[in-house]
Amino acid sequence: AQSVAQPEDQVNVAEGNPLTVKCTYSVSGNPYLFWYVQYPNRGLQFLLKYITGDNLVKGSYGFEAEFNKSQTSFHLKKPSALVSDSALYFCAVRDERDYKLSFGAGTTVTVRA
Amino acid sequence: DTAVSQTPKYLVTQMGNDKSIKCEQNLGHDTMYWYKQDSKKFLKIMFSYNNKELIINETVPNRFSPKSPDKAHLNLHINSLELGDSAVYFCASSLTDRVWDGYTFGSGTRLTVV
């Protein structure tokens, strides 16, 4: 079985400050990890993924995420948040042997000007 | 040239009606999915088809019936609609041989049952 936990329902930061959205996962085999963003009344957009290799992955819009196998975490980060980053962020995991992509409950990010 | 397109975008209907949502992808993917996003924004997989074969069938009322006429299309038919069916339904697709890729999502269908 595979699962994802996003421990924070909401994250609030001031524009220009660092942004971190937390994610932990559980899979039987090797994980494929993803971050998606959903803007109001829109579909999900891919941000970045970890498959193998370097634990720090870079994605769209200046986001990055760090894979930590010992802590089974894949936290999303942005060094300097923008008001336009305000959205709903989903972490997702897929076992390498499974079709299914399982999502966390989502974290609403609000960046204030 | 939208990659994954869903129709309709909005659907308002009365309880007890039967309705369908259509999904088409032009990415050459061989696997398609339906997800339900409830009012709390939680995303839950419902069904998945790989080359027209049902491969994922989560615990979903049998009022919901997916149909895949070919690998580029996956439709969702819902019988006897109930208030609790109100949600946003997302279609997605992926390529089996590239399991490390994520999914490509459609923009969603907002279903409101009144």
Q: How far apart are CA A78 and CA A95, in angstroms?
A: 26
Q: What is the pLDDT of residues A35-94, one digit of tens each?
A: 999 998 888 999 999 998 889 999 989 999 999 999 999 999 999 999 999 999 999 998
Residue B21 and residue B8 in contact, taking contact as beta carbons nearer than 8 Å: yes
Q: Which amino acid is at B70?
A: D
Residue A63 and residue A76 in contact, taking contact as beta carbons nearer than 8 Å: yes
Q: Do B100 and A32 touch (CB under 8 A)?
A: yes
* A5 CB within 8 Å of a chain B CB: no
pLDDT at B86 over 70: yes
Looking at chain B, which residue has its C-alpha nearest residue A44?
Answer: B105
Q: What is the pLDDT of residues B16-67, one digit of tens each?
A: 999 999 999 999 999 999 999 999 899 999 999 988 888 888 878 999 999 9
Residue B25 and residue B34 in contact, taking contact as beta carbons nearer than 8 Å: no
């129709």: which residue's tokens?
A: B7
For residue B107, give the nearest of A42, A90, A103 by CB distance. A42
Residue of A101, A102, A107 best to disrupt the B interface, most CBs of B under 10 A: A101
